[in-house]
Amino acid sequence: MKSLPRILILLTLVHGLVDAFGAFVQPLWPDLQQSLALEQGSIQWAYVLWGLATSVTQLGFGYWGDRHPRGWLLWAGPAVGLFCLSVVGLAPGLASLSGLLIVGGLGIAAFHPEAAALAGSCAPHDRSRAMSVFAVGGYLGQAAGPIYSGVITTHYGLKALVWSLIWGLPLLGLLVLGMRDPSRVAKPDQPRPAVPLADLVRGRGPALSMVLAIGILRVLPAMGVPLALSYLLKGRGHSNDFIGIVQSAFLAGIGAGSLGCALFVRREIERRVLWQFPLVVAPLIWICPLVNVQALILSVSVGGFLLGATMPILVSYGQRLMPEGQRIASSITMGVTWGIGGIFVALITSLANRHNMHTLAFTMYALACASSSLLCVWLPVGGAEREPILTVNLSGAPGKP
């Protein structure tokens, strides 16, 4: 953790900013559907496109980045994402809204593999802790985003989100400027040739498949609970700012859990945390539509904390399995799982809304959480750390030793 403190801190802050803007839409789905006069369930397809753009495409960016490292993605991707997510309230129709979500999602996706690989390399022999610090920024950003957008849109309308560009882009620029000097970051032991994708996965198929399956099941509640909360609370007559607060309690819990993982979870107990915590989270999710607001906030906060403590462990596990392809590994655990999970979340949300059964959505997410715990029984021991520390060059050229 001592090798790159400045870079890791700056990456964490940029991660928080990017994910805060990415979370702007979380409390707004019911209002976007109403303002665009869409049929019941139509907005879920925009949600699917947004989820796929921000997640599954990370695999392509990760593969490209492992072969041709491009440091400029650390600023260009966030800039595109910040712009597109700030103007969603100006979209006149479903097509334009979907276009903004797709392009903005691609910008967000471009940032994550590059940043995650660099963050993980800050502590190659304690990768879970480094990834926990990096993940905290994202989760806290996801927690702040719904509160901000909920308050702004409640008082000033959907179009007022565009003013977020006034402070968002300059802040991004200041943070990126702090990472401009690649000569001061740690250098790799030796240059490494790109490894073909087929060689990366050879002999690791079963382990990667298990990591992918566990990741998808664990992502379902992480993605689905905030969306289910928006429809549950909107149906009870609550405003966007209150919905954002409850969503943020869950997402802030995930962020706090990730930080707790960094501070207190030792490597020898990681597997225990990975399978035990979700068994506690499952009933906390299931009771959400059955309790009053005070108990609901407590339930999602505690559930988010325990769920968040497991997320960085799974990310670092993937990176240890594929030390020669860190960006690809990160894109699988932080991208592909979220994209596939997003499709299931959209289907569950559409089914629950069509039949006005909010309990169904929370039940499905609780079952997914419990199932992810059971699959950990077949999770093999991760590979050893062998990789060098990565460099960062914001101009786009690969780092040189």
**Residue linked to tokens 């597997």:** 271
Per the CB < 8 A criterion, the answer to whether 371 and 217 are in contact is yes
Per the CB < 8 A criterion, the answer to whether 201 and 208 are in contact is yes
pLDDT of residue 356: 82
Residue 43 within a domain: yes
Residue 189 within a domain: no
Residue 386 within a domain: no
pLDDT of residue 17: 95
CA proximity to 44, closest of 98, 81, 85: 98
Query: What's the pTM?
Result: 0.73
**Residue linked to tokens 């690969």:** 398
Residue 62 within a domain: yes
CA proximity to 32, closest of 133, 100, 80, 78: 100
372: tokens are 């992810």
Residue 119 within a domain: yes
> For residue 397, is it left (φ>0), alpha (ψ between -120 and 50) or beta?
beta
Question: How far is Cα 394 from Cα 364, in angstroms, rounded to an integer?
Answer: 42
Enclosing domain of residue 43: 5-176+197-378
Residue 396 within a domain: no
Residue 340 within a domain: yes
Cα dist. 312→16, 129, 160, 186 in Å?
15, 8, 34, 23
- 383 contacts: CB under 8 Å, gap ≥ 6: 320, 321, 322, 323
Cα dist. 390→14, 171, 305, 324, 353 in Å?
18, 25, 30, 11, 46
pLDDT in tens, the chain (401 residues): 444 467 888 889 999 999 999 989 988 988 898 888 887 767 888 888 888 888 888 777 777 766 666 677 788 899 999 999 999 999 999 999 999 999 999 999 888 888 887 887 776 667 767 777 888 888 789 889 999 999 999 999 999 999 999 999 999 999 888 876 544 444 444 445 556 656 666 667 788 888 889 999 999 999 999 999 999 999 899 988 899 999 999 988 988 898 888 788 887 888 899 999 999 999 999 999 999 999 999 999 999 999 999 988 887 777 777 766 666 777 777 778 888 898 899 899 888 888 888 899 999 999 999 999 999 888 776 544 444 444 444 544 434 33
**Residue linked to tokens 């109403």:** 34
Per the CB < 8 A criterion, the answer to whether 286 and 65 are in contact is no
Q: What are the tens digits of pLDDT across the range 63-113?
A: 776 666 667 778 889 999 999 999 999 999 999 999 999 999 999 988 888
Question: How far is Cα 87 from Cα 100, in angstroms, rounded to an integer?
Answer: 8
Indicate the SS3 state at residue 124.
coil
User: 107: number of CA atoms within 13 Å, CB side?
Assistant: 22
The CATH number of the domain holding residue 108 is 1.20.1250.20
Question: How far is Cα 84 from Cα 95, in angstroms, rounded to an integer?
Answer: 14
Query: Structural domain tally of the chain?
Result: 1
Question: How far is Cα 63 from Cα 69, in angstroms, rounded to an integer?
Answer: 10
Residue 26 within a domain: yes
Cα dist. 361→254, 347, 351, 352 in Å?
19, 10, 8, 6
Distance between first and last Cα of the chain: 20
